[in-house]
Each structure stands twice: as C-alpha cells, then as structure tokens.
Structure 1
Amino acid sequence: MNSTIETILAHRSIRQFTQQPIDSEQLDTIIRSGIAASSSSMLQVISIIRVTDAEKRKSLAHLAGDQSYVEKAAEFLVFCIDYQRHMTINDQVQPEFTELTLIGAVDAGIMAQNCLLAAESMGLGGVYIGGLRNNAQQVDELLQLPQHTAVLFGMCLGYPAQDPQVKPRLPAQVIVHENHYHSLDKEAIAQYDQTMLEYYAGRSTNQKQASWSEQTTGKLCEESRPHILPYLNSKGLAQR
C-alpha cells in the first residue's frame, strides 16, 4: 500500500483545530491540487471563495448552524458553482439547464476532495460544511455572489487538535454491483449496523445508540432543505 492510499483510507472529519496557521505555500498547493481535478468537458465551472474576514467567518458559522469550527479553522473555503464567467465570455451561454447544475455539483465534489486529500497528505485535517445550504440565500448575499453563481458547500482546514477514529463505511458488497443492480443484502446491513453501534459506543464524545439504518432513514423521512430549488432557480440555474 502506498502513501496516497494510506492517506485516503485514514480520512477522518476534523472539527477541532490548533491555532497554527497554514502557510501560503501549503495553501497554494492545496488550491492547485483542487484545480488539477477532472472537469466535465473542461468546463471548469467552480469558484472557490477563501474567507479571511473574521466577521464574515463568524456570520457563516452561525448561518451554517452555529458550527464554531467555521470561525476557528485556519482556513475556510466556500465552493460555488459558477457560470457567470462563461456568461461574461459569451452571453449566449444557457446555464439554466439542470444538467449543467449537476455538472457543477459533481465537479465541485471532485475538486474539493482533491483539496482535502492534498491537505491531509501534509498533516492537516478538515471537514465539509454542507450546513451553508441551511441559509443559502443569506450566504450568497454575504459572499456577494453574482447571478448564475451559487453556493454549494464549505470546507474547514487546519492542523488537527483531535484524533478521532476512522468511521466505518458500508462494505463494498453493498455498494458495488456487477453488471446489473442487485437487491439489498439485509444481513450485510445488519452486520454494518452492529459495527456502527459498537463504533459509537466506543467514542469518547458524541456517543449514539441508534444504528446507521435508523439514523439515515430517519433523516431521509424528513423534509430536506426545500428552499434549495427556489434558490438555484433564482440564480438562473436548474430551471429546465
């Protein structure tokens, strides 16, 4: 196993950081690693907002659900879908197609994961902040995003001040299908639920007693940010 794979498999979300800053050379490498990621049809439809203003950080932490690490992390990056640059080049561009919004979401995930892996390879840690979409319009206004540009998620980066365990994932036999879609292996899910119960029971903080199945299906039975489609539509995205 090489060092790249070791870094990938050792991933943990880090939410507590030291006060040590990330130097400019490290940050430049992280950003360049993100930019080097695959881009659908080389459209390159992502912009990153680096938030360094303390008051904006504080506001974003609150808008994301009072996640204090948004304010305290050494760096906070916001990943945005961005067709404004293309519209500026050619006003005949049609960013309203839902396919183009999907491309933006996919490309942002690929770019951000490159950034995070680069950071982790340097001994840094981070966590994704989807909570920015709790108040997408307010985040949009705070960051002064133009039309055809929309917030997707944030990322905290810094030197870890915690050492959490690697969280167990679903087994490959559940996720990987061969040649056609296979029915769910409920026994494999039951075993995974037990693994997760043991994992949560062994954590020093944020212990839980619900299984993975109970947690995830419970969440999916709830309303899930119904304001997102109107927000995207208002930005000229995902309209048809």
Structure 2
Amino acid sequence: MTSAAMENGGDPEAAVARRYRSPQRADVSAWNQTLDAILSHRTTRAYLPKELPDGTLELIVAAAQSAPTSSNLQAWSVVAVEDPDRKARLAELAATNRHIEQAPLLVVWLADLSRLRAIACLSVCRGDGLDYQESLLLAVIDAALAAQNAVVAIDSLGLGSCYIGAMRNRPAEVAEELGLPPEAFAVFGLTVGYPDPAGASDVKPRLGQETVLHRERYRPGLNDQDLAAYNATLRTFQQEQGMPAIDWTLQVANRIGSVETLRGRERLGPTLKELGFKLS
C-alpha cells in the first residue's frame, strides 16, 4: 500500500478528496498505485543527507523517455548535477534556492534543438524549421512532459522532488555553468532526494474542478464563491504548514503584478537569441 492510501486508510475517495480538501466526483473503481502516487504528490524542499542508490538516475531518465514526444523528435536533454560546488553555484543563480545544495541530485531539463541542428547538418540540410518559435515551444513541451513522467517515477520510489523554475532567472549564466551548446536552454531544474520527515509537507490543495474543468466550450468569467472557498482552504493549509497565510488570489496578483516579479525573466526573449535560438 502506497503513501496516500495509508494516509487515507486505503480509501481512494479520501485520497481524491485530500487533493481538494473537499469531496470530488471521480470514478475510483479502477484505483491503482499509479493514481495513488500521482494524487499524493507533494513538493519536497528538505532532504536527508543520503545518497541515491546506484542506477536511480538512469531509472528516472528511462521513465522520462517514456513520455510522449512531438513527432518523435525527442527535443530535450538533461544534465545531472551532483558536484556540491556546482550545485552551490547554480543555487545562487536560481534565487538562492538552498535545497538545491541539500538534495543529492539536481536534474536540469533542457529544451535542446542543438542535437536536431547537428542531425540536419549531417543530412546536408539547413534545418530551417528550427528557426521558428514553434520549434522552441515544441522542445519546451517535450522537456516538461518528460520531467513530469520523471516526477511520477520519483514519487513512486518514495523519493521527493521540487521543480526549480528560477533556472530561467539567469539562463545565460546557467548555460555557461553547464557548458550548454547553442540552441540549448535550461527550462527548469528538479531537485531529487529522500524527504526529510522533519520538513515534510502535506498534499497542497488545488482549485476545485468546477473552476478548471470546462465541457465542450470555455465558460468565461470567474465564480467569486469558488475563489473565496479556495482562498479559505489554502489559508488553512498554509497555517498548518507554518507558512504566511495569504489568499491565493492575492498571491496571483502579486506574482504577475509587475515586471520586477519576473526576476530577470522579462529578458528571456533577447537572452534566448543570445543562446542561439532564431525565434522567427
């Protein structure tokens, strides 16, 4: 029996409700360990000083490579970082995320057109299709699909992880630190390790499905009652976790309210061109 089932007394309906902190309509008749691992996911920012078993990285990458990939182009790569000094430097570049240093493994996920460009050169073609924003978007999507497969595998192994979007704060410096070729870009990092029980977090509640699920056509507008209910639910979670209590709607407004909150990512377009992407 896996973590969510144990926490919820082996009750799949309770495991689904735990994700929202309210009952949700869902068919759980075919409940399985994969669903259990997915619905019990929580972010890990505190790790035990314990190395991963040999072969764990390779197993995680195999799971990542089992994700769908557009046209089988496989336009992504990963850089596994275990060296403490390099992790420390990357932590400084990524808004001083200290759990990068604490975790035994940092995996940096790349949108990687460089390999496709090299193949085009071998085939004596220019690869003009790589010069458009669609190709970068394709590579970013491929990297995200692969990484999320890896996260599910990590959870199923009893390990923890945390996405590091701040790798995009200073992408040129990250590229230099990792020795990336032109047309390769660090989309995000992922810390991996054994969760420290002293810093364990609970399953973070999400918006109710009535807010995000649209049938046939998009429903415009916001439901103030649904948002107010979610604000209250998230505040309860924050208080339980010893976090500052703030409404989710205010969090959103603060995060997107000014250019300064992008923390350098507002320059991403010009930086990507410096990294060799054409972006026509």
Matches within 5 A, 1:23-38: 23-38=53-68
> What code does the residue aligned with 1:174 have?
T
> What code does the residue aligned with 1:231 have?
T
* Alignment of 1:216 onto 2:256: no
Give aligned pairs, total.
238
- Give me the TM-score of the superposition, normalised by structure 2: 0.82
Q: Which runs of 5 or more residues in structure 2 are unaligned?
A: 1-30
Alignment equivalent of 1:185, drawn from 208, 218, 223 = 223
Identical residues among aligned pairs (%): 30
CA distance in 2, matches of 1:102, 1:226: 17
CA contact 2:140–2:187 (8 Å) conserved in 1:
yes
Alignment equivalent of 1:175, drawn from 209, 212, 229 = 212
> What code does the residue aligned with 1:93 have?
G
Per-residue CA shift, 1:165-199, capped at 9, x if unaligned? 11100111111111111022221111111111111
Equivalent position of 2:139 in the other structure: 104
CA distance in 1, matches of 2:215, 2:278: 32
CA contact 1:101–1:238 (8 Å) conserved in 2:
no
Higher RCO, 1 or 2 (CA under 8 Å, sep at least 6)? 1
Equivalent position of 2:19 in the other structure: none
Alignment equivalent of 2:268, drawn from 221, 228, 234 = 228
Q: Which runs of 5 or more residues in structure 1 are unaligned?
A: none
Per-residue CA shift, 1:106-136, capped at 9, x if unaligned? 1111100111110110100010001111111
CA distance in 1, matches of 2:143, 2:117: 19
* Alignment of 1:116 onto 2:146: no
**Alpha-carbon offset, residue 25 of structure 1:** 2.2
CA contact 1:229–1:238 (8 Å) conserved in 2:
no
SS in 1 for 2:252: helix
Per-residue CA shift, 1:145-181, capped at 9, x if unaligned? 1111111110000000032111100111111111111
Equivalent position of 2:12 in the other structure: none
Per-residue CA shift, 1:72-94, capped at 9, x if unaligned? 21111000111111111113113
CA distance in 2, matches of 1:114, 1:239: 28
Equivalent position of 1:61 in the other structure: 91
CA contact 1:46–1:80 (8 Å) conserved in 2:
yes
Alignment equivalent of 2:127, drawn from 93, 107, 113 = 93
CA contact 2:82–2:104 (8 Å) conserved in 1:
no
> What code does the residue aligned with 1:232 have?
L
> What code does the residue aligned with 1:142 have?
E
**Alpha-carbon offset, residue 209 of structure 1:** 2.5
CA contact 1:99–1:238 (8 Å) conserved in 2:
no
**Alpha-carbon offset, residue 214 of structure 1:** 0.4
- Give me the TM-score of the superposition, normalised by structure 1: 0.95
CA contact 1:132–1:153 (8 Å) conserved in 2:
yes
**Alpha-carbon offset, residue 238 of structure 1:** 5.7
* Alignment of 1:144 onto 2:185: no
**Alpha-carbon offset, residue 202 of structure 1:** 1.8
Bigger CA radius of gyration: 2
Alignment equivalent of 1:11, drawn from 15, 19, 41 = 41
CA contact 2:113–2:136 (8 Å) conserved in 1:
no
Equivalent position of 1:81 in the other structure: 111
CA distance in 2, matches of 1:197, 1:238: 44
Runs of 4+ with >4 A deviation: none
* Alignment of 1:127 onto 2:162: yes
> What code does the residue aligned with 2:229 have?
Q
